[in-house]
Amino acid sequence: MENPGFEMQEEKIQSSSNMKEQTKQEVPERKSHWSLMNIFLVCLLACFISTIIGVLIISSVYIKNIGFLTQLNMQKHEITSPKTPITMSDKKRVDVKFQFLNHLGKSKGSAWIGVVDAGGSIVTTYNVTAGQVIFFPKNTLHWVKNVGEDDCLFLLFFTTHEELQTLDVDDVFFSTPEDIAARSLKPQGGVNFIRTFKKQTEDQAINLPPNLVELVQNASYVQSPDKLVWRYFYNLKDSTEFKLSGGVIQWARFRKNGVGLNDNEKIFSESLQMHENSLTLATIRIYSNGLRQPHFHFNANEMGYVISGCGKVGIIVSSKITTDFDIGIGDVVFFPIGTQHYIKSTCDEDLLMILAFSTGNQLQTLDMDDYFHATADHILAQLFFKKQEEFKKIPRFSEDQAINLPQQQNLIAKNN
Identify the band that residue 140 occupies on the pLDDT scale cut at 50, 70 and 90. Answer: very high
The stretch 97-123 carries a mean pLDDT of: 71
Per-domain boundaries in the chain: 7-83, 107-207+218-226, 236-415
First to last CA, the chain: 150
Q: How does residue 183 score in pLDDT terms, banded at 50, 70 and 90?
A: very high
Query: From CA 359, how far away is CA 255, in angstroms rounded?
Result: 12
- What does the mean pLDDT of the chain come to? 81
Give percent of the chain with pLDDT exceeding 90. Answer: 64
CA distances to 211, 255, 309, 323 from 343, rounded to whole Å, are 49, 25, 12, 12
Looking at per-residue pLDDT, the higher value among 76 and 42 belongs to: 42
d(Cα 220, Cα 374) in Å, to the nearest integer? 58
Mean pLDDT of 237-247: 95
Question: Do 394 and 373 meet the contact criterion of CB atoms below 8 Å apart?
Answer: yes
Using pLDDT thresholds of 50, 70 and 90, give the confidence band for residue 177: very high
Residue 46 burial (10 A CB sphere; 0-12, 13-18, 19+): exposed
- Using CA atoms, how far residue 173 sits from 63, 140, 382, in Å, is 72, 17, 69
pTM, to two decimals: 0.72
**100 vs 316 pLDDT, higher one:** 316
User: What mean pLDDT do residues 258-275 have?
Assistant: 94
Residue 71 confidence (pLDDT) above 50: no
The answer to whether 232 touches 134, Cβ cutoff 8 Å, is yes
pLDDT of residue 200: 94
Do residues 196 and 188 make contact, with C-beta atoms less than 8 angstroms apart?
A: no
Decide if 410 contacts 404 (C-beta within 8 A).
yes
Beta carbons within 10 angstroms of residue 326's beta carbon: 10
Residue 288 has a pLDDT of: 96
More confident residue, 66 or 126: 126
Q: Which of 9-13, 189-193, 308-312, 407-411 has the lowest mean pLDDT?
A: 9-13
Report helix, strand or coil for 311.
strand
**Does residue 23 register a pLDDT over 60?**
no
pLDDT digits (tens, 9 = 90+) for 367-387: 999 999 999 999 999 999 999
pLDDT tens per residue, range 40-70: 666 666 666 666 665 555 555 444 444 433 4
Full DSSP string of 36-100: HHHHHHHHHHHHHHHHHHHHHHHHHHHHHHHHHHHHHHHHHHHHHS-SSPPPHHHHTTS-HHHHH
Overall average pLDDT of the 407-412 stretch? 61
Q: Give the torsion sign (CA, 401, 403, 407, 413).
A: negative
Torsions phi, psi for 36 (to 5 deg): -65, -40
Residue 27 has pLDDT above 60, yes or no: no
Averaged over 338-343, what is the pLDDT?
Answer: 96
Q: What is the pLDDT of residue 9?
A: 42
The secondary structure of 129-143 as a DSSP string is ETT-EE---TT-EEE
Distance between CA 244 and CA 286 in Å, rounded? 9
Residue 198, pLDDT > 80, answer yes
d(CA 299, CA 320): 23
Length, in residues, of the chain: 416
Q: Top-level CATH class of 236-415?
A: mainly beta
Q: Is the pLDDT of residue 233 over 80?
A: yes
Spatial distance between the Cα atoms of 109 and 128, rounded to a whole number of angstroms: 9
